[in-house]
């Protein structure tokens, strides 16, 4: 995750020689900020957190039902 958190930079340099005396130079730099690159990873993490919470709620509900059944079957003193 740390490696993906760094901004990515791309540098391009183009040099063209046209004819006998003219030339053309072109430089370009592209930088992708890390905040944009992390959006997908953060969405994946958040989705996993929500699934865990949902599964925990289901387990809690099942535990409640089982406790209720056990309590109803246990003789009262």
Q: For residue 54, give its domain range.
A: 2-73
Q: For 40-72, how does the pLDDT look when each residue is reduced to its tens digit (9 = 90+)?
A: 778 888 899 999 999 999 999 999 998 888 888
In the chain, the number of structural domains is 1
Q: What is the pTM of this model?
A: 0.47
Q: What is the mean pLDDT of the chain?
A: 78
Determine how many CB atoms are found less than 10 A away from the CB of residue 38.
14
DSSP, collapsed to helix, strand or coil, labels residue 7 as coil
Residues 6 or more apart whose Cβ sits within 8 Å of residue 6: 34
pLDDT bucket at 29, cuts 50 / 70 / 90? confident
DSSP alpha helices (H): ranges in 31-77? Answer: 34-73
What's the sign of the alpha-carbon dihedral 4, 7, 13, 14? positive
State residue 48's pLDDT score: 93
Place of tokens 């791309």: 10
Rounded to an integer, what distance in angstroms lies between the CA atom of residue 72 and that of residue 59?
A: 20
């Amino acid at each position: 995750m740390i490696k993906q958190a760094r901004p990515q930079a791309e540098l391009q340099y183009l040099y063209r020689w046209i004819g006998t005396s003219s030339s053309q130079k072109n430089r370009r730099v592209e930088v992708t900020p890390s905040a944009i690159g992390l959006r997908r990873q953060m969405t994946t993490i958040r989705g996993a957190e929500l699934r865990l919470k949902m599964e925990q709620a289901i387990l809690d509900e099942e535990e409640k039902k089982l406790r209720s059944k056990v309590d109803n079957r246990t003789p009262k003193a």
